[in-house]
Every structure is written in C-alpha cells, then in structure tokens.
Chains A and B, each alone.
Chain A
C-alpha cells in the first residue's frame, strides 16, 4: 500500500480522505534518533524541535511517500510549508487550512477545503475518491477510535505502562488501517488480561505539546507516574470523539475535526481547560503534568490559566519545559521526583 505522509501540529489533517484514496495516511513524527540537523539549516533553533524533526525526517525519507500534506495548526505549519516546498523532494505537496474556530462559517469553509483537497488528489494521482469510499473510510476510522477508547479506559484499571499506550497510538497513526484493526484487537485481548492498576503508581493527566517519543513516557514511569488520561494528539484527542455519520461524509469529516478535544492552537481555549478539569474530577486523578516542548508558544500562553484553574479544584500540577533530546535533563527528573513526593504527602 502506498504511503501518504502528513504534518499537522495537533490532529488537524483529515486522514479519512487518504484512507478513501486507498493510501496509508502516515503522521510524520520525526525519527527515533531525535535528529534535526538537516532541518536546522533552514529553521532557527528557537523554533520548536518537533517541527524541525518532522522536516528532518521528510528531507531524509520523502522518497518513500507518494505525497505530503501540511495541515494548519500553529505558525510552524503555514510558515514552514514554503521551506518544505524548497527542500523536501516530493511530487505532491499540499496545504490545507483547518479553521481556528468551530462555528458554521468555519465548518462551511472547511468543507470547501476538504473538497478542494479531494480534487487535487484526484487530479494528481488520477484517481476517483467517491462518497462511498469516504463513508467506508469513516467507518474504519470510527472502528479504530472505538477500539482506542476501550483500550484507553483500561489504563485506569489495568497495569499498562505509559510507553505501551504511546506505542499503540503511534502505530495506529503510521500504519495502514487494515493492519491497525487486527493489531488493536490483539492488544485489547492482551491488556484485558493484565494485572490491576499497580498501587505504587500515581494516576495522572498529561497535557501540553505533543510528545513524539516514548522516552518521555518512560521517564514518568520511572518516577511512578502513570498517565491514565491525556489530551494529546498522539493520545485522546485522536480518538475521544467519533466521526458523525448523519450527513454526507464530507460534512461529517469537517464537523468531526472541528469538534475534537481542543488544543491551544484553537479558539476559544476554554474547552481545552474544561476537558482537563472534567477528566480530573471524573477519574480521581492525583495530579496533572503540563509540559511543553521548548518554544511551543501556543501551549505556553495557556499555562498560567491552566494552573490557576487546577488550583481551584485543588489538583496538584507541575509545569515543565522540555528539550528535544534523548538525554533527559537531570533538573526535570528532580522536579518530577519532588512532585511525586508532594503527591505522596497525606492530604
């Protein structure tokens, strides 16, 4: 199956179009070696390393991909599109704007954007993307989301490590959906048979910029912090809601992408905060880890407000700024250990 890659900052790219086009939508997440060297020639180092690592991977691996789409999320997407255009070798590079807002005007516009992208794909690849194919793609997508929802729920009751959860999500976003479905089913059987949630672990909510490597999840594991809820794109944002099936498939896709759990790149920002607070109240979360990758401004702006709201409901929170490296900063480890100590103090 042919692979079609995409770069979006927080789950903005309507991958169902690619599924309908009988290609594998592959979310670019950077390579395992944390490399950004090639991209650093074109993008200043004080721009988030996630985006730089995506460009790096694209420069190295674009020949494996039939085409690439960049969907607007934050400044990195629209501003870097032109750099990709100059330095990434590909036959097909496409930009799609996912609106900031969710109102009817935005939805109407997004329907137009999706239609335009379908036309561009049809014309370039000499294919036809029918409504029927789109409907089937939605069905597949929803099946995957339901499986992920069920898996995600097991995090609260079973012993499922942070990186196992992350790896499942990453696999889902980078592999052909035909392969993903049986994979998730087998994981479900495995996870259902797991031991109960370990008593020495603290259930936490994880929020902030997207984490693209399992290393960070392992670090949390090491200090006994277990991520049981999150609102990351390589996480709950991807599967928390299902694609509606009541209208025509294009409208349904548009509606879905505008109504997923919000990220800081969107307007307004309150629904994001509400999602976190609701999860904290529902799941008896011990604490919240708010983290940003250095220079991720959109999430940085929301940090003081998020912290203040968590203080109101008396949920402990720690905010961390992380570098993009395989060598975890000792200071961060120390701060996390101190946070765990705080959680362990009698309330």
Chain B
C-alpha cells in the first residue's frame, strides 16, 4: 500500500484564494449595513426568504431580502452555532431537526449581531417546499413566533419519469401562485410589483448568472484557478444580490482575475501539486472549513460543488413579465440541488467527465435528510460505472457535535490512498 501521500496531517498554513474573492469582505458589510439601516426606516420593508426561491421576487417589489440560511452559515463559520442550536433544543426543538433552523431560532431570540449571523425581524416571510419540508416548517414556526405574515409556495416535485405534460401542469400551478403572491403583497404588505424594476432585476440576474457560469467553466482547467475557499464566499451575490449591480461588478473582477490566472497557467495549487480533483456534494461543515484546507495538503482540491453551482444556473433573456415568470417557475421547480435520482446520476457523470474529477465526496448531512436520500445509489453508480472513488461521510453542516475529528482524519487519509491507487490505475489503463 502506498502511504507516501498520506503523511501530511497538519493544516495548510496559507490557503491561496483569488484576490478578488477577498473583496467579498466589502460587499457583505455593504449588505449588512443596508440591512441595519432598513430596520430603522419604517417604510422600508424586508422579508425572510429561503434558498428555494428566487430572491428577485423580492427585489422586484423593492423588498429587502434577509436570508436566514445565509445568516445561519455565518454563525457556523464564526463558530457560534452550537450555542444557538443548544438554546433552540432547550425550547423543545429536538436534536434531529435541521441545524440551520435551530441556529436561526437561537440567533433571532438571542439577538446576536449580524456579523455573527444575527437577523432582524422581517415584515413577512416567504418560503417554498421545493427543497425540503424544513423550509416550510421553519418559516411557519418563526412567522408564528414573530407574529408576521407568511406566504408559502407549494412546488410539486419532478421525480423520475415525470412527463412533459405533468411538468407543464406543475409549472402552471407555480405561476398561478406567483400571481397569488403578488396579491398577497398588495393586500398584506401594501406593495405593488414594479414591472419595469422586475424586468431590470431579471436582466441583472441573468448577467450575474452568466458570469458565474463562465467562472465555473474555468474550473475545468488544470490546475483549477478557483477553489472551494473562493466559491463558498463568492456565492453571496447569487444568494442575496441577484438583480443588484454591485454583485455584477464583483463577478466581473473575479472573472478577469480567473482569466489572467488561466493565461499564466496558475492555479489555487501549483500544477505539480494538484494531484486529485474532487467534487463535493452537499453543504459544507461551516464550523470546520479547515477540512477542505486539510485536503489540499494532500494535493486534493475541490473543483466542483453542485451546491454553489446551483445558485447561478444559466437563464434566458426575457423582455416581458409573462416569460419572466415562466423562467422563475422553472427555477423554483428544478435546480441541481433537487434533481431526481436519474438526473442527479447523469449530472454527476457529466461533471466527473468534464471537470476531470478523480474522486467524489458525498456529505451525508444529518440535518438535510432530503439531500441525503439517494446518495447510496449515487455512490454505487459513480463507483461502478465510472470507477471513480467516492467517500461518503456522515456529518452536519452547522452542528459541530456531529464532527468526529479523529475519525474524519483517518477517513481522509484512507480516501487519499484510494484516490492514489485509482488514479494510477486509470492512468496506466
């Protein structure tokens, strides 16, 4: 057994990131400041929204979006999530429910600062059942506790073999609800949709997504010019600022730098050090981002994540409300994070081939049961049909109690060995 590659357990001292990615540290405070100011201007309205919904829906109404999942991951990354989770558990929310939800309950009740993942009371909340039951239950619970109105989108699921006629029926249903949401906005929130603004927002969003797609294309290069340390922060404009010019400028700078990197043959790891290109499925363990840096010590770098890709899918140009709503409905109904099993397997195979992936990491996230369902079949198909090693590990994205340090270290080391063997076997054949 070759063990030479597995003798680098310590964390990489410096993790190279794109310079432009660091500019996120200006964009996020800008957003936070706006959120803070918003709280004090009575006529400015804000809403909580979940990641299953296009945030443009709010910008088009001039509603300031607040994103509890985003704030929860900030708490995770700042290592305060456990305290908040335990607080929520003391209220009766059990150990097994989603840790984002519990983080949010703690963050809201304890009024922690926005920098640590705190979040203000909104004027209303809007959610959908597209991705998970949690999104609906979470917002039902918090809307009741905060005494604010709630709008829930019911989005049917596209399972294996869903026919085109059924998809059409689903889409009509979602579009009817979007119009119903417009009525809710007028009747309950007193806001009318500004069609011109909505179209402008969509156009800006399209530019943002296009840039994201281009950046992602460059991740195919060896060595990859964009690492996970970049994309984890870079998705921020896609999550909260689609339709806002500031995000576009940020992505333009990012793309320019990526292009320069590629022209010079530079990567996050130097070419000779980039040994294994990985795909990571699931939400990262925010409290333990070091995990990814640890991988890099072995020359293993994550070059594709369906999670970050999901936020910026390509979208067509639209110049009228009707078409725009159709595009919006499509996005609400189907995105990589919720692909059905057949499409998920096909999608993984395609990525593995196009991004020259050597191994796949599947995060079996105890908080996110829906995303874990199907992972065993996915693992088996990747291994069996493509001969690519897969590491499936059980953890949680925001609850550090689920992370077993030593066990994870051992598993990484064994996985690196498997990667080494598998890669040399593939190269030899």
**A residues neighboring B (CB under 8 Å):** 41-44, 46-47, 72, 74-76, 78-83, 85-86, 95, 97, 99-101, 103, 105-106, 108-109, 112-113, 116, 264-265, 267-269, 292, 294-295, 297-298, 300-305, 307, 319, 321
Q: Are A46 and B366 in contact (CB under 8 A)?
A: yes
Q: Which residues of A contact B137 (CB under 8 A)?
A: 264, 269, 297-298, 301-302
Q: A82-B342, A100-B152 are in contact. Are A46 and B140 (CB under 8 A)?
A: no
Q: Which residues of A contact B162 (CB under 8 A)?
A: 95
Task: Provide the bound-state CA to CA distance between A269 and B150, in Å.
Answer: 12
Task: Provide the bound-state CA to CA distance between A109 and B172, in Å.
Answer: 9
Residues of B372-388 at the interface with A, using a CB-CB cut-off of 8 Å, are 372-377
Residue of B nearest to A105 (CB): B176
Q: A79-B373, A86-B341, A95-B159 are in contact. Are A297 and B98 (CB under 8 A)?
A: yes
Q: Which residues of A contact B160 (CB under 8 A)?
A: 81-82, 85
Which of A42, A97, A298 has the largest number of chain B CB atoms within 10 A?
A97
Q: A47-B373, A75-B369, A297-B97 are in contact. Are A100 and B129 (CB under 8 A)?
A: yes
B66-104 vs A, Cβ < 8 Å mask (1 yes, 0 no): 000000000000000000000000011110111001000
Q: Which residues of A contact B376 (CB under 8 A)?
A: 41-44
Other-chain residue from A47, A297, A305 in contact with B372 (beta carbon distance below 8 A): A47
Closest CB-CB distance, A93 to chain B, in whole Å?
A: 8
Closest CB-CB distance, A250 to chain B, in whole Å?
A: 15
Q: Are A85 and B341 in contact (CB under 8 A)?
A: yes
Q: Are A44 and B340 in contact (CB under 8 A)?
A: no
Q: A300-B94, A301-B93 are in contact. Are A267 and B133 (CB under 8 A)?
A: no
Task: Provide the bound-state CA to CA distance between A86 and B160, in Å.
Answer: 10
Q: Are B169 and A116 in contact (CB under 8 A)?
A: yes
Q: Which residues of B contact A86 (CB under 8 A)?
A: 341, 377
Other-chain residue from A42, A72, A97, A294 in contact with B377 (beta carbon distance below 8 A): A42
29 interchain pairs, CB-CB under 8 A = A41-B376, A46-B372, A74-B133, A75-B373, A79-B370, A79-B374, A80-B373, A82-B340, A83-B341, A85-B341, A86-B341, A97-B157, A97-B170, A101-B154, A108-B176, A113-B169, A265-B133, A268-B140, A269-B140, A297-B98, A300-B93, A300-B94, A301-B93, A301-B97, A301-B101, A301-B137, A303-B92, A305-B141, A307-B92
Q: Which residues of A contact B425 (CB under 8 A)?
A: none
Q: Which residues of A contact B152 (CB under 8 A)?
A: 100-101, 267
Which of B97, B150, B156, B376 has the largest number of chain A CB atoms within 10 A?
B156
Q: A47-B372, A97-B156, A101-B152 are in contact. Are A85 and B140 (CB under 8 A)?
A: no
Q: Are A297 and B369 in contact (CB under 8 A)?
A: yes
Closest CB-CB distance, A212 to chain B, in whole Å?
A: 19
| Known contacts A85-B161, A97-B170; 6 further A-B pairs (Cβ under 8 A) | A44-B364, A44-B375, A79-B374, A95-B157, A269-B140, A304-B92
Other-chain residue from A83, A100, A303, A321 in contact with B136 (beta carbon distance below 8 A): A100
Task: Provide the bound-state CA to CA distance between A292 and B132, in Å.
Answer: 18
Residue of A nearest to B161 (CB): A85
Q: A95-B162, A307-B92 are in contact. Are A75 and B366 (CB under 8 A)?
A: no
Q: A44-B372, A101-B154, A297-B134 are in contact. Are A267 and B377 (CB under 8 A)?
A: no
B138-179 vs A, Cβ < 8 Å mask (1 yes, 0 no): 101100100000101010110111100110011001001100
B180 at the interface (CB under 8 A from A): yes
Q: Which residues of A contact B154 (CB under 8 A)?
A: 99-101, 106, 267
Total contacts A-B at CB 8 Å: 134
Residue of B nearest to A79 (CB): B373
Binding site of A, secondary structure by majority: helix, strand, loop or mixed?
A: helix
Task: Provide the bound-state CA to CA distance between A48 and B144, in Å.
Answer: 26
Task: Provide the bound-state CA to CA distance between A332 and B198, in Å.
Answer: 55
Task: Provide the bound-state CA to CA distance between A46 and B95, in Å.
Answer: 12
Q: A44-B372, A116-B166, A269-B140 are in contact. Are A82 and B133 (CB under 8 A)?
A: no
Q: Which residues of B contact A302 (CB under 8 A)?
A: 137, 141
**B residues neighboring A (CB under 8 Å):** 91-94, 96-98, 101, 129, 132-134, 136-138, 140-141, 144, 150, 152, 154, 156-157, 159-162, 165-166, 169-170, 173, 176-177, 180, 340-342, 364, 366, 369-370, 372-377, 394
Q: Which residues of A contact B129 (CB under 8 A)?
A: 100
Task: Provide the bound-state CA to CA distance between A44 and B396, in Å.
Answer: 14
Q: A74-B133, A82-B159, A82-B160 are in contact. Are A301 and B141 (CB under 8 A)?
A: yes
Q: Which residues of B contact A294 (CB under 8 A)?
A: 96
Task: Provide the bound-state CA to CA distance between A43 and B132, in Å.
Answer: 16
Q: Which residues of B contact A103 (CB under 8 A)?
A: 180
Q: Are B94 and A78 in contact (CB under 8 A)?
A: no
Other-chain residue from B93, B169, B341 in contact with A109 (beta carbon distance below 8 A): B169
Q: Which residues of B contact A95 (CB under 8 A)?
A: 157, 159, 162
Across the A-B interface, the 4 shortest Cβ-Cβ residue pairs: A82-B341, A304-B92, A301-B137, A78-B157
Q: Are B156 and A72 in contact (CB under 8 A)?
A: yes
Closest CB-CB distance, B281 to chain A, in whole Å?
A: 14
Closest CB-CB distance, B423 to chain A, in whole Å?
A: 28
Q: Are A47 and B141 in contact (CB under 8 A)?
A: no
Residue of B nearest to A319 (CB): B92
Q: Which residues of B contact A295 (CB under 8 A)?
A: 96, 369
Q: Which residues of A contact B165 (CB under 8 A)?
A: 116
Q: A47-B372, A116-B169 are in contact. Are A83 and B377 (CB under 8 A)?
A: yes
Closest CB-CB distance, A187 to chain B, in whole Å?
A: 36
Q: Which residues of A contact B140 (CB under 8 A)?
A: 267-269, 301
Q: Which residues of B contact A101 (CB under 8 A)?
A: 152, 154
Q: A47-B369, A79-B374, A85-B341 are in contact. Are A267 and B136 (CB under 8 A)?
A: yes
Q: Are A305 and B377 in contact (CB under 8 A)?
A: no
Q: Which residues of A contact B341 (CB under 8 A)?
A: 82-83, 85-86
Task: Provide the bound-state CA to CA distance between A300 and B88, in Å.
Answer: 13
Residue of A nearest to B140 (CB): A269
Residue of A nearest to B101 (CB): A301
Closest CB-CB distance, A299 to chain B, in whole Å?
A: 9
Task: Provide the bound-state CA to CA distance between A262 and B3, in Å.
Answer: 58
Task: Provide the bound-state CA to CA distance between A75 and B133, in Å.
Answer: 6
Closest CB-CB distance, A269 to chain B, in whole Å?
A: 5
Q: Which residues of A contact B169 (CB under 8 A)?
A: 109, 112-113, 116
Other-chain residue from B96, B101, B157, B375 in contact with A72 (beta carbon distance below 8 A): B157
Q: Which residues of A contact B144 (CB under 8 A)?
A: 305
Q: Which residues of B contact A46 (CB under 8 A)?
A: 96, 366, 369, 372, 394
Other-chain residue from B133, B177, B340, B374 in contact with A105 (beta carbon distance below 8 A): B177
Q: Which residues of B contact A85 (CB under 8 A)?
A: 159-161, 341
